[in-house]
Structure 1
């Protein structure tokens, strides 16, 4: 029987509220502590939830609320040098659910609150005291909180990761900065289709929304690393100048850039990817979500993996008698899956800026590529069909062979 009765969850983005809700479902009290002064809405831009991520939310009763704010995207196209290629999809899987990140945060927060999860804001973690019976978190405002365990869901710049292992690697930089915007534009494209475009100088993607609107996202190559704060310190008019110059040769990318205004431009800053984290937990502290695994945006699985891990962590804490046993089972369930997806995404990043010859070769080889390296059955079948069996007991580690 589990001895874990309470948890401090550090971070109120995606993984934190989901972990707290799942813990409540498992019979464990959880309290979310967020460094921001309020719910973290307006941080970041759009994202896609894969079927496996939405299925994990369904276990908590949150799936339908997310679907109501999402745009289902079933079709995929690849545009190379102005030529579009229809990509095959997994016919037996539901569509991607494309959501605004801020709206997703709001839905997950509200669902957690409805499940009985309390939230505290302005709680920036500075240190943790561990005892044999629990942990005490110390926050920058001088307050403290105590529970049986502490869960670090505090994102890619995780404080908890550094407390678990001061030598832990930080996030890597993909060499690209993220931007996005919604704009008025009549686009000849099916409503449920997303296009991944290899422009002359940079990669971008776009999809059609209702009532003559389009959302597009740009991955701007940049040797200089800029955090979210640093990127937003640059005037939006300057970024628009760079984006319009970069995407000028592209159709429809050039038009997207010209129609984007300083008021509508969403600036994300550096796009990250997490290298493998050696230590996922220590004693009574454990990591979840981007704090421990953050594949690049090329994976299409970042948020979904965070949701999965939050639910699996709750299962392990429910079924294993001690925190250390639960954390070991959790890492065993998750590490191989998340690191294989991260590795796949890293390969995609390397191909986002092909030169003229490479673009011609991509177009010529596309029929073969669709059957091989772009065949979703081979690249994403297992990823998207992954489902968590909430009711199944978490198995114990197999006994070591003598």
Structure 2
């Protein structure tokens, strides 16, 4: 079978353009098709990029720009209730977590898209595909079509490509929480470079020193029903702030963070989702990447990093294996075990984000015992954060797993 020369990348968020850049480096012409008519520049909250995610960005030329725009966070603390503070162990010889706004990450990646002259088509919402013997045709809502050797679904947790690959595929699972982010005028008592994960009386939140003063914070608000981003943003920010102030009232410093956050600084992220294991990652000339196939809970700190890694690994496989089926199978073998281990770890944390008073009391006793074990910490987070992709190594049909 002829080597893959062209790819249609569906989705222009993070995984899509990274995949297109990596494919370009691999000698494969990729075009990005984004459903929205304009770019997402300047939109979105803060993303935590793990060291492995930053390392993967080096393969597409975006790592340095991201590091320049990011806030390093070398220390992490777990807060349980009003007074319990437990420092989390750190990994030796590993760069710090990088906190970067989604807009800055997006811009760093798209600067490379422009520099490498990767084509982007806006306002192209995929509705159907037509597979042919040696190509695939993408059919868009505006009636236009695009032909390529392979089609890559990087279209997020509500992926159309996932449904086209397998109509019975599971959809995203609502975590029971809505996401918010803001900057409070209140100066929380936290050391520079420290991110604090706080388990309040009624809800989980996290906070870190603001770049320009104050305290940046994120809230995971328990909510019985999921809300789309559009619906969540249709609610006045004043109303959301009243809810947040009620939920975090009595928490230290959660109460002050909510009270001293103004409506202009509050960002609404909508429902938080995770992806259960997806049985089929590919079919024929179609394959999934990023959140479309693996979206761990935000507790993992690895969502964006894993998406970037997968995009790069997929490009390597298509570069070295001339049969798309073999390339996709090798890609899944390289990625499935890793991403599902991370998702499983994060799910355990996610279950206690709204612990209630009894569970909170238990956590105050058990969590310090857990984090004191450097062996356990190294065993779980070490393989995640030290993971590096060897771009130059050839991919075989039965790749050796890292």
**Alignment correspondent of 1:102:** 103
**Alignment correspondent of 1:88:** 89
Deviations 1:183-204 (CA, angstroms, capped at 9, x unpaired): 3332332221100000011000
**Alignment correspondent of 1:221:** 222
Write the distance in 2 (CA, Å) between the matches of 1:139 and 1:371: 53
**Alignment correspondent of 2:73:** 73
Write the distance in 1 (CA, Å) between the matches of 2:338 and 2:374: 19
Q: Are 1:177 and 1:270, in contact at CA under 8 Å, matched by a contact in 2?
A: yes
**Which structure 2 residues correspond to residues 79-228 of structure 1 after superposition, within 5 A?**
79-82=79-82, 83-228=84-229
Deviations 1:169-219 (CA, angstroms, capped at 9, x unpaired): 100011111111123332332221100000011000011123323210000
Write the distance in 1 (CA, Å) between the matches of 2:317 and 2:28: 12
Deviations 1:45-95 (CA, angstroms, capped at 9, x unpaired): 111000111001112221101111110110000111122111111122100
**Alignment correspondent of 1:330:** 331
Matched, 1:56 2:56: yes
**Alignment correspondent of 2:381:** 380
**Which structure 2 residues correspond to residues 180-329 of structure 1 after superposition, within 5 A?**
180-329=181-330
Write the distance in 2 (CA, Å) between the matches of 1:362 and 1:169: 32
Structure-2 change in CA distance of 1:188 and 1:371 (3 Å) = closer
Q: Are 1:2 and 1:318, in contact at CA under 8 Å, matched by a contact in 2?
A: no
Worse-superposed segment, 345-354 or 281-290: 345-354
Write the distance in 1 (CA, Å) between the matches of 2:117 and 2:14: 17
Q: TM (normalized to structure 2)? A: 0.96
Q: CA RMSD in A?
A: 1.6
Q: Are 2:188 and 2:253, in contact at CA under 8 Å, matched by a contact in 1?
A: no
CA shift, 1:363, in A, is 2.4
Gaps of 5+ in 1: none
Deviations 1:138-189 (CA, angstroms, capped at 9, x unpaired): 1111211111111000111111111111111100011111111123332332
Secondary structure at the counterpart of residue 58 of structure 2 = helix
**Residues paired across the two proteins, number:** 398
Q: Are 1:52 and 1:383, in contact at CA under 8 Å, matched by a contact in 2?
A: yes
Worse-superposed segment, 80-89 or 290-299: 80-89
Secondary structure at the counterpart of residue 395 of structure 2 = coil
Write the distance in 1 (CA, Å) between the matches of 2:115 and 2:58: 15
**Alignment correspondent of 2:346:** 345
Deviations 1:8-36 (CA, angstroms, capped at 9, x unpaired): 10101000010000000000000101011
Q: Are 2:185 and 2:261, in contact at CA under 8 Å, matched by a contact in 1?
A: no
CA shift, 1:371, in A, is 2.8
**Which structure 2 residues correspond to residues 30-41 of structure 1 after superposition, within 5 A?**
30-41=30-41
Secondary structure at the counterpart of residue 87 of structure 2 = strand
Structure-2 change in CA distance of 1:18 and 1:2 (3 Å) = farther
Write the distance in 2 (CA, Å) between the matches of 1:160 and 1:136: 13
Secondary structure at the counterpart of residue 353 of structure 1 = coil
Worse-superposed segment, 26-35 or 209-218: 209-218
Write the distance in 2 (CA, Å) between the matches of 1:21 and 1:2: 22
Secondary structure at the counterpart of residue 264 of structure 2 = coil
Gaps of 5+ in 2: none
Deviations 1:279-328 (CA, angstroms, capped at 9, x unpaired): 11111111000000000101100000000000000000000011111001
Write the distance in 2 (CA, Å) between the matches of 1:27 and 1:377: 37
Worse-superposed segment, 191-200 or 81-90: 81-90
Write the distance in 2 (CA, Å) between the matches of 1:12 and 1:214: 31
Structure-2 change in CA distance of 1:289 and 1:144 (3 Å) = same
CA shift, 1:374, in A, is 9.4
CA shift, 1:133, in A, is 1.3
Q: Are 1:88 and 1:375, in contact at CA under 8 Å, matched by a contact in 2?
A: no
**Alignment correspondent of 2:46:** 46
Q: Are 2:124 and 2:141, in contact at CA under 8 Å, matched by a contact in 1?
A: yes
Q: Are 1:178 and 1:269, in contact at CA under 8 Å, matched by a contact in 2?
A: yes
Q: Are 2:76 and 2:87, in contact at CA under 8 Å, matched by a contact in 1?
A: yes
CA shift, 1:109, in A, is 1.4
Deviations 1:347-397 (CA, angstroms, capped at 9, x unpaired): 111111222233233223343121349942132111111110000011222
